């Protein structure tokens, strides 16, 4: 295997390992929903042909027969144990409210009333996600892995045995947090619950400082107690250390919490296995009766989770086990077992979720690496984006620093953090909008596409100097901005075609200033996390300063997306949320970190004297603003496909006002299908597309040869038109399409896939 992999242009190192993302059902599954010959029959009716008469009547009969056949196909899909298990993991109530009635129905042309059609669309919608969406969740979106081996040419697949090598069931963090809150209400547990100083509370000799409030006096006894409230010492321990009675210490802690200087509750740090930490906390309780009472309640949920693991792929057993867990949870906590979905709800609304490792692995060779020069051009522009944003935010953070310094004569990180709320700065969204617009303008000038062009083919040799002039400069942003995680897809008939040189590459999303492979949902599914940690150490030989992140933050942030590649030498700074293990000696309070100006650079000075660029602790907040901002597309009605060498760096894309799509209003399915195909033909849209709508949670697949997927498109357009008469849907060509899948399993079935690389900037210094 190849340990050091560099892009052809230099300046960027690729991790030797990459994530192989793909769904858990074969790509050909969606083709089952495109009836043979129906599209050709529909295309006999062009815009000038009336949809009436003998020919139309014959077509309606053919359409009705095809619709019944499709319904039977969907019933066959809905009856599959693996499909039903996948739905159970997503939303098990749908099995009873939608899937079961659909399976109990006997399809006929006359019997396809509104409700059966809705259930057809329900199954088809799930099916497209399970077959052609490269999501990462559960066995229907398992995490795969691959490596570079530059001694080889193309791509090699080792299918392994079966689809899944390993599966794990995890508790959602909110579920264990809820149980911890309930356990903490036991009065007998209070004396064993360690209090913790609020992370942004700074203590001096005789005062306490909180951001935005005047200094408050503190007595010597209060100071002595508060300084020892570090989240590791129980009131029993504190009483012994201070030589006071437990009652005195309990009263003192109560006073500190009322002053909002300390928190006194059971806290569970961010971790993939929160129940394990809660168990270890309870096992430290010195009173056997109190300890056993708490552990017994936790054991109820642990055992229920284990039953879910054993029922993993059996939809009925899985549903029963999930229902039992929900009942146990509701009884123990007197809380709802499923959180309502709304704008304030982060992912992982259920009590548990699952992640899996794919059996198949892939190896990439020199032929693929040689064609990644266009990717390097895009990474250069992404680095420019983060540099500009870092400059802008540094200037604004410095203004906040100087304001605090003039007022207090000293600045701690907690005070500066609050001064910059909403972090990283109130102007941050407007600034990244401006910088993104400038990036697009520069790319537009470089590409110089003729008006109305559908296909643009360029050479990286011709673009290199222009890209360097527009974007070329060393990296000089925050620490994690050295990372960019691009999704690259291989467009080939099969794996052998790559070795023959018969392939193209497609650039998917470019995740800026982040190592997505280091997120929990990926890293926890690696067979040897030590290998990923070794890659991290190559990038950062010394310790890093990292902010403690909230456990959840709508709409995307959750425990699954938390950074998991953490080493013992790394520091954590608690800002507002304190989500690290307080027993970690390198978990620090922001109030204890001083901010200083050294030779024009703002530095965070830790209590042990370690120094880090201040921007590093703002890193995740900065990344949240830039991570999805790299795009060559404008908001034009049409954007061409742009190919550089053998890499498509932008798919062809169209934007339509949903309310103006006439075919969506047709009541007759047959007419809707024919008019949708006429519309597609006039615009020369591809057969396979992905559609994005502001009213839909995620992009969805449409096959214009499939009436059921045309119906789903029409419904989405109508929904958007009702919400926003001027709202636009975005249609993008699907590349590769379902017929171009090279990833196989041990049965020879083919799956769509994408490669999630980790690219590391080599031009700047590691923090």
Q: What is the DSSP letter of 28?
A: G
Tell me the CA distances in angstroms from 93 to 87, 89, 156, 327, 342, one per residue in order: 9, 10, 41, 14, 18
Per-residue pLDDT of 388-445, as tens digits, reads: 999 999 999 999 999 999 999 999 999 999 999 999 999 999 999 999 999 999 999 9
Q: How far apart are CA 343 and CA 555, in angstroms?
A: 7
Torsion region of 600: left, alpha or beta (phi above 0 gives left; psi -120 to 50 gives alpha): left
Helix, strand, or coil here: 305? helix
C-alpha angle 657/658/663, rounded to 5°? 120
Q: What angle do CA 499, 500, 505 make, to 5 degrees?
A: 70
Tens of pLDDT, residues 102-112? 999 999 999 99
Average pLDDT, rounded, for the chain: 95
The distance in angstroms from the start CA to the end CA of the chain is 28
C-alpha to C-alpha distance for 47 and 51, rounded to whole angstroms: 9
Confidence label for 648 from pLDDT (cuts 50, 70 and 90) = very high
Residue 635: the pLDDT is: 78
Confidence of residue 559 (pLDDT cuts 50, 70, 90): confident
The DSSP code sequence of 96-110 is IIIIHHHHHS---TT
pLDDT value of position 522:
96
Q: What confidence tier does 338 reach under pLDDT thresholds 50, 70, 90?
A: confident
In this predicted structure, the answer to whether residue 341 has a pLDDT above a threshold of 90 is no
pLDDT tens digits, one per residue of 243-255: 999 999 999 999 9
Q: Which residue, 2, 366, 361, is CA-closest to 157? A: 361
Instruction: Kindly state the average pLDDT of the residues 746-765.
Output: 94
The answer to whether 338 and 326 are in contact (CB under 8 A) is: yes
Q: What is the rounded distance in angstroms from the CA atom of residue 143 to the CA atom of residue 742?
A: 17
Residue 340 has pLDDT above 80, yes or no: no
**What does the pLDDT look like over 79-117, one tens digit per residue?**
999 999 999 999 999 999 999 999 999 999 999 999 999
Q: What is the pLDDT of residues 701-733, one digit of tens each?
A: 999 999 999 999 999 999 999 999 999 999 999
**Residue 2 confidence (pLDDT):** 66
| Beta-sheet strands, E only, within 662-717 | 688-692, 700-703
SS3 631: coil
What pLDDT, on a 0 to 100 scale, did the predictor assign at position 348?
64
pLDDT band at 767; cut points 50, 70, 90: very low
Percent of the chain past pLDDT 70, that is, above it, reads 98
Quick check: helix, strand or coil at residue 357?
Answer: strand
Give the C-alpha separation, 207 to 384, whole Å. Answer: 45
């Amino acid at each position: 295997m190849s340990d050091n992999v560099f892009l052809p242009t230099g300046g960027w190192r690729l991790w030797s390992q990459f994530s192989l993302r793909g769904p858990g059902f074969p790509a050909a599954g969606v083709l089952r929903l495109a009836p043979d010959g129906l599209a050709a029959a529909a295309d006999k009716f062009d815009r000038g042909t009336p949809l009436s008469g003998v020919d139309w009547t014959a077509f309606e009969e053919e359409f009705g027969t095809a619709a019944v056949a499709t319904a039977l196909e969907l019933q066959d899909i809905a009856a599959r144990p693996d499909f039903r298990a996948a739905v159970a993991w997503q939303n098990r109530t749908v099995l009873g409210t939608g899937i079961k009635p659909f399976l109990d129905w006997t399809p006929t042309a006359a019997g396809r009333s509104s409700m059966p059609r809705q259930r057809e669309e329900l199954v088809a919608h799930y099916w497209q996600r399970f077959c052609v969406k490269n999501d990462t969740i559960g066995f229907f979106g398992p995490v795969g892995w691959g490596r570079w081996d530059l001694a080889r040419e193309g791509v090699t697949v080792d299918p392994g045995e079966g689809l899944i090598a390993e599966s794990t069931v995890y508790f959602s963090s909110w579920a264990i947090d809820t149980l911890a809150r309930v356990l903490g209400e036991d009065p007998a547990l209070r004396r064993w619950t360690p209090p913790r100083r609020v992370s942004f509370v700074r203590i001096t000799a005789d005062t306490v400082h909180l951001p935005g409030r005047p200094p408050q006096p503190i007595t010597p006894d209060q100071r002595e107690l508060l300084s020892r409230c570090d989240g590791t010492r129980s009131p029993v321990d504190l009483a012994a250390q201070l030589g006071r009675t437990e009652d005195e210490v309990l009263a003192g802690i109560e006073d500190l919490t009322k002053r909002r200087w300390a928190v006194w509750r059971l806290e569970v740090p961010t971790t993939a296995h929160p129940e394990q930490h809660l168990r270890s906390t309870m096992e430290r309780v010195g009173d056997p009766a109190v300890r056993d009472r708490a552990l017994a309640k936790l054991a109820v949920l642990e055992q229920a989770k284990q039953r879910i693991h054993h029922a993993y792929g059996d939809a009925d057993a899985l549903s029963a086990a999930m229902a039992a867990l929900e009942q146990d949870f509701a009884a123990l906590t007197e809380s709802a077992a499923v959180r309502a979905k709304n704008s304030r709800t982060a992912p992982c609304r259920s009590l548990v979720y699952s992640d899996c490792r794919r059996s198949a692995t892939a190896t990439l060779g020199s032929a693929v690496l040689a064609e990644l020069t266009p990717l390097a051009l895009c990474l250069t522009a992404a680095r420019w984006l983060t540099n500009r944003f870092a400059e802008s935010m540094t200037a604004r953070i410095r203004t906040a620093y100087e304001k605090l310094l003039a007022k207090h004569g000293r600045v701690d990180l907690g005070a500066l953090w609050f001064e910059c709320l909403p972090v990283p700065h109130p102007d941050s969204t407007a600034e990244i909008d401006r910088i993104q617009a400038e990036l697009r303008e520069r790319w537009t000038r470089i590409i110089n596409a003729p008006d109305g062009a559908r296909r643009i083919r360029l050479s990286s040799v011709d673009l290199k100097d222009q890209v360097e002039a527009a974007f070329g400069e060393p990296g000089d942003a925050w620490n994690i901005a050295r990372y960019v995680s691009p999704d690259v897809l291989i467009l080939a008939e099969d794996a052998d075609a790559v070795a023959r040189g018969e392939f193209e590459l497609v650039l998917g999303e470019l995740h800026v200033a982040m190592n997505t492979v280091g997120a929990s949902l990926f890293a926890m599914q690696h067979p040897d996390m030590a290998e990923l940690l070794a890659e991290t150490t190559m990038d950062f030989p010394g310790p890093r300063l990292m902010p403690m992140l909230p456990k959840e933050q709508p709409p995307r942030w959750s425990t699954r997306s938390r950074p998991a590649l953490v080493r013992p030498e790394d520091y954590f700074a608690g800002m507002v949320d304190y989500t690290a293990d307080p027993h970690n000696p390198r978990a620090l309070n922001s109030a204890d970190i001083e901010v200083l100006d050294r030779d024009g650079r703002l530095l965070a000075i830790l209590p042990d004297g370690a120094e880090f660029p201040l921007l590093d602790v703002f890193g995740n907040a900065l990344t949240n603003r830039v991570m999805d901002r790299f795009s060559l597309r404008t908001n034009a009605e049409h954007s061409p496909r742009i190919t550089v060498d053998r890499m498509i760096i932008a798919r062809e894309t169209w934007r339509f006002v949903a309310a103006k799509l006439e075919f969506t209003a047709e009541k007759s399915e047959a007419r809707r299908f024919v008019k949708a195909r006429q519309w597609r033909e006039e615009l020369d849209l591809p057969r396979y597309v992905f559609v994005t709508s502001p009213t839909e949670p995620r992009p969805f697949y449409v096959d214009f040869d499939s009436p059921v997927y045309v119906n789903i498109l029409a419904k989405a357009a109508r929904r958007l038109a009702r919400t926003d008469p001027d709202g636009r849907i975005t249609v993008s060509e699907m590349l590769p399409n379902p017929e171009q899948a090279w990833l196989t399993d041990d049965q020879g079935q083919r799956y769509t896939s994408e490669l999630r690389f980790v690219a590391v900037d080599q031009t700047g210094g590691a923090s």
